[in-house]
A and B are shown apart, each in its own frame.
Chain A
Amino acid sequence: MATAIAKAEDRVGVEHEYAARIGHVSKSFNGPTGPQLVLDDITLDVAPGEFVTLLGASGCGKSTLLNLVAGLDRPTVGSIETPGGRPALMFQEHALFPWLTAGKNIELALRLRGVPKGARREEAERLLELVRLGGAYGKRVHELSGGMRQRVAMARALAQDSRLLLMDEPFAALDAITRDVLHDELTRIWRETNVSVLFVTHNVREAVRLAQRVVLLSSRPGRVAHEWTVDIDQPRRIEDPAVAELSVEITEELRGEIRRHGQH
């Protein structure tokens, strides 16, 4: 029942063998016909530095699960532990604050994390460099392109200095070329920072392109249906034959899950 919030000393001291531990989590919402089970007995560990994608059709509750891990909502049954502190979360929309510049958006995250005033500017510039937007500090959100906005959002999420980065279809609204570039970018940043990533998507190729492990959720209620370890060397490309091959296999499984819903 309890959602364990890690204490600060956990991060420097004891190394945990997981970045997130989802233990027998179920979630129901009150629907028109009584309580509706959305997630059913999900158990999943994300190892430190691991990249996991959660894959599923609509209604599989993958965003709900991400909200639970982010601490925005509580599970009905089960426990969620994130020993690395409050996880960072990136949304499909950039969710940058339009009243602040790109740099100030990052500084707000630093400020809320407790970084002293004098150190914020430099750290914000460093994070912008990390996402290759060195000159964008003073830019307003509306002056940036969609891909640049998502990179600033990524820098802001990294500014939380959490050991776990949750991503809720962050590239779904981008054009294919930009998305492809941001896949490369995310892979590079993940390897540089060694952050753990739990990435939600309904795009099979994206899941295979990015992850070390792909977890397929069934729909209504969401259950862990299948898991694949992706043994393809990084850097990968979305058009790599090995990526395509595994994608075909996973797509078949996903279609099977969807078909089951048409039968009753």
Chain B
Amino acid sequence: MASTDTTGTATGKGPARSDDLAGLEAGLDALDAVQVNRTPVREVLLKKVLPPITAVALVLVAWQGLVWAEVAPDYKLPAPSTVWDGLSDMWLQGTLFEVIWTSVSRGLLGFLLALAIGTPLGLLVSRVRFVRAAIGPVLSGLQSLPSVAWVPPAVIWLGLNDSMMFAVILLGAVPSIANGLVSGVDQVPPLFLRAGRTLGATGLRGTWHIVMPAALPGYVAGLKQGWAFSWRSLMAAEIIASSPDLGLGLGQLLENGRNNADMPGVFLAILLILIVGIAIDLLVFSPLERWILRSRGLLVRS
């Protein structure tokens, strides 16, 4: 171990020192290794599932309480049980999934279209300075324009059909998706770009191998918002533009409830719209986002 004498021959000390170093390094690695462990199922149920169920139960109890207290006549405030009856009626008639699917299929197809347009648009805005200066501000401004505003012109241009719905979805979701990507690209640490350039990732290869994956967290946040905007725009379009040719979606269900002064139907439609929106987010976007953040070590466990 005494290796302070600098006059000793290098060849004599070489191999012994090398073994030494390997052992030392293995020790350091073991001491410094970062432990990553998964949460047990019981704890997940207790910490993640129980609280929202409690919240929903409390809302139902409060609702039933208001009904019992008769704060409003029952044509304004229906009891939870009548809304439930409406749901089981639709289930028994077999129309429940048909109505949900009409809207969800429109929404998802429109969202995929928005994805296909918003992604290249976002890349263009983030990477080409002229394009950014030209349409960047308009693109972020469009996010504050309620997509309902696009329904009247869309009806006039395209008529009462599915393409008008898609147009409204696109105008709502494309700016969100593009803006998400732009802010994702803006937040890419310059160090990654420099490291990429020294490895030879320039131009399109740099965009594909470095910029896009580095911008993924911002991009997925944009997708999440894009879905919320798609769903909202679609409901606005379905409520305003009803026509027998369009088929019965959740928006029309709500509008029909209003026309028939059927308050349980209105409540049911609102709840279904809410539940579908949350379900898609919980089943698709949240797992995607969590997986991306966790694999990069960005998810801080509380």
Contacts and interface: CB of A to CB of B under 8 A. Distances in A.
A12 interface: no
A70 B209 CA distance: 20
A9 interface: no
Contact of B25 (A86, A181, A236): A181
B301 interface: no
Interface string B21-37: 11011101100111010
Contact of A99 (B13, B24, B36, B213): B213
A99 B26 CA distance: 25
* Residue of B6, B191, B213 ringed by the most chain A CB atoms within 10 A: B6
A163 to B, nearest CB: 15
* Residue of B28, B34, B36, B198 ringed by the most chain A CB atoms within 10 A: B198
A48 interface: no
Interface in A86-109: 86-89, 91, 93, 95, 97-100, 108-109
B216 A232 contact: no
Nearest to B297: A142
A200 to B, nearest CB: 15
Q: Interface residue tally of chain B, by bracket?
A: 35 or more
A113 to B, nearest CB: 7
A233 B32 contact: no
B291 to A, nearest CB: 11
Contacts of B21: 181, 184-185, 188
Contacts of A112: 199-201, 205, 209
The B interface is mostly helix, strand or loop, or mixed, namely helix
Contacts of B7: 233
A109 B199 contact: yes
Contacts of A68: none
Nearest to B191: A95
A109 B33 CA distance: 25
Interface stretch (A30-38, A119-127, A237-245, A251-259): A237-245
Contacts of A72: 194, 197-198
Interface of B: 3-4, 6-10, 13-14, 17-18, 21-22, 24-26, 28-29, 32-34, 36, 191-192, 194-195, 197-201, 205, 209-210, 213-214, 216, 292, 295-298
The 9 closest A-B pairs by CB, nearest first: A142-B297, A145-B32, A95-B195, A98-B296, A112-B200, A89-B198, A99-B213, A242-B6, A109-B199
Interface of A: 70-72, 86-89, 91, 93, 95, 97-100, 108-109, 112-113, 132-133, 140-148, 156, 160, 177-178, 181, 184-185, 188, 232-237, 239-242
15 contacts: A89-B195, A91-B191, A91-B194, A95-B194, A99-B216, A99-B296, A145-B29, A145-B32, A148-B29, A178-B28, A181-B25, A188-B18, A233-B6, A235-B14, A241-B4
